[in-house]
Structure 1
C-alpha cells in the first residue's frame, strides 16, 4: 500500500489535470527526495497537522524546490542551490505526532534534520546512518524511545547532536568517539544507563544530565579533549572521586556535577605550562552540590582567576571556610550551605558592600553576622554540630 502511495506521489508531481488537459510539470527535485518527503509526511498523524503549520503546506501537486513558493512547501525545508535535492528539514514546533520513517535515509544530501519540540514517538531508525552529509541532528523534546542506534556513529560529518528531553534508554556507544567533527552533544533528560564511554575528542559542549549514568569519571573517557568548555553531568548516579586530571582539561569553563554520589574531589589550582603560560585559568562556574563529598573545602579553587560561581552545598564538608574564598575577586555567587563547616566566615565574604550572593547557612559557623545575606538560613543546632565532630574524624580529604 505504501509503495502504491509513493508511486502516486511521484506521478502526480509530473502530471496534473487542468481544464481536462494533461499538463507536463517541469520537475526540479529528484524523484527519490520527493518520495522520501511523501513518506515522511505520511508517517505523521493527519489529525496533528494544524492548518497553519508548515506540513499543511506540503502539497505534492507542486514541486518542492520550485520557486516562488506561494502556497506550497512555504516552510519546513530548504533545497540545494541547484534546486534538485533537499538539504534541510527544520519543522516548526506545531505538535506533530507520528514516527520518523526509515525512508528519511533517501534524503542523502540532508545537512540539517531538526524535529524539535513536537510529539514524535517510537524508535530512531537505524537507516539514519545513510545521511552521510548530516551536520546537525536535533530531535529534542519529543517522545522517542528505545536505544540510540549504533549506526549514529557512522555520521562522520555530524557537528551537533541533540536528543535531549526524550525517553531514550540503554547504554552509550563505545564507538561514539569516532564522531571526530562533533562539537556539541546533548543527551540530557532521557533514561540512559551505564558508564560514560570514550567521548568525541573535539567536543566543546557535553550534556548528559538527568539520566541514570553510573560509575566514576574515567580519564580515558575524556582523553585528548583539549577544547571541552562545558560539562553538564548533573542528576545522575555517578560516584567515586572527581580527580585532579578532570580539572586539568585546558579549556574547561563550566562544570555541573551536582546531584550525584561523588565522595571526594581532588582539585589543584592552575599552574604554568612549559611555555610559562597558565594553562588552567578558564574555570568560571563549578557546581558540586548535593553529593557526598567529605573532608575540607578545597582552598585551591581560589587560584582560578575567573571563577564566578561556586557551589559545594549539601555535602559533608568539615573544617573552616578557607580564608582564600574571601579573596576571590571574581566570585559573585557562593553556596556552601548544608555542610558542617565551623569557625568564622572569611571577612571578605560578609563585609559590608560585598557583591557576593549565595548562602553559608545550615552549617556550624560561629559569628556569622545576621546582617549578611550569606548567613541565611540559620546555622545548625549546636547539638547537631557536636555530634558531627564527636570522636575521631573519618572524612576523606577533598584536596588530593
Structure 2
C-alpha cells in the first residue's frame, strides 16, 4: 500500500477514508540538513514521530512544536540548537521519547515537564543546561531512562524521583550535598546509576547496596568521605560493578562488599582508605561461595593500605 510504506525521503503516511493521506512520521537521516526550524508545525497535526537527529539545524527550538498534539517521539539530538527549551514542550502529553541531547541548549529544565505523563525516555545530556535538578519529574510514572549528563546542573538530588526509573545518568554536572537514602528507597527497578564527576559528599548510603535491581553503580570523582556499612542487607544486592574511585573515602575497606553475591568489578582506588586488605576480598577472588561471582576486577591502588597482600591476590 502506497500510504503505509516508509520511504528513503523520511516520510511515512497513513491513508484515511477519503483516499487522501496524512503525514505521521518525519525522519531526516544524517545528510547535512541545516538552518533554523520553521514555526509552521500546525500544518502537520497528525505527526507522531519527528526525528531530525544528527544534522546541522540551529537556532531556537520553536515553541510551535506544541501544536503536534499526537507526537510520541521528538528527537532533535546532535544538532546545534541553542537557547532555552520551550516550556510549551511540556504540553505534549502523548510524548513517550524526548531526545534533545548533544546541542547547545541553555537555561533550566522547564517545570512544565511534569505534564509529560507518558514520557518513557528523556535525554538532555551534553548541553549547557543550568539550575537545580527538577523535583517535578516525580509524577512521571512511566519514565524509565533519564540522562542529564554533561551539563551544569546544581544542588542535591531531589527526594522525589519516578519509581519507574531503570537508568539514571547525571555524570559531569555540579551536583553537591549528600545522597539521601529516601531518594533511593522507591527506585526498586533501577539498574544503572551514574553520578560520577560531581561534588557529592558525605557517606555513600547503604541503601544503594540494598536495591534489588541495581547492577551498575558509578560514583567516582566526587567528594564522598565514607561508605555506610550494615551487618545485613547486602546479600540481596544485584550489583555487578561498583566504582567509588577518586573520592575522599577514609577508614577500612568495606568488608561487606566481598559478600555481595554478584559483584565482580570493584574500584576503590585513589582514596584515603587505610588498614589491611580483608581476607574476604582474597577469598572472593579465588574461591567465591556457591553461585556467587568472583572478583574479576579489583582496583585498590592509591590508598594507605598496609600489611601483606593476601597470597591469592598475588597469583
1:207 paired to 2:169 = yes
Deviation of 1:345 (Å): 1.2
Which of 125, 150, 158 is equivalent to 2:119? 158
Change (3 A) 1:52 1:158: closer
Aligned to 1:244: 206
Aligned to 1:168: 129
Aligned to 2:22: 29
1:124 paired to 2:85 = yes
Q: Once superposed, what is the RMSD of the aligned Cα atoms?
A: 2.7
Larger radius of gyration: 1
Of stretches 314-323 and 240-249 in structure 1, the one that deviates more from structure 2 is 240-249
Change (3 A) 1:51 1:126: closer
Partners of 1:224 and 1:155 in 2: how far apart? 20
Aligned to 1:104: 65
TM-score (norm 2): 0.83
Contact 2:30–2:53 (Cα < 8 Å) also in 1 = no
Which protein is richer in strand relative to its size? 2
Aligned to 1:327: 283
Aligned to 2:247: 291
Which of 51, 60, 71 is equivalent to 1:90? 51
Deviation of 1:28 (Å): 3.4
TM-score (norm 1): 0.66
Residue pairs, 1:1-400, within 5 angstroms: 28-29=21-22, 52-53=31-32, 85-197=46-158, 198-268=160-230, 271=233, 279-280=236-237, 282-328=238-284, 329=288, 330-351=294-315
Task: Return 5+ residue gaps in structure 2 as ranges.
Answer: 1-18, 38-42, 289-293
Partners of 1:133 and 1:225 in 2: how far apart? 24
Deviations along 1:302-350, whole A, 9 cap, x unmatched? 1112212111111110100111111224211111111000111121111
Change (3 A) 1:210 1:51: closer
Change (3 A) 1:179 1:269: farther
Deviation of 1:188 (Å): 0.4
Partners of 1:129 and 1:50 in 2: how far apart? 26
Which protein is richer in helix relative to its size? 1
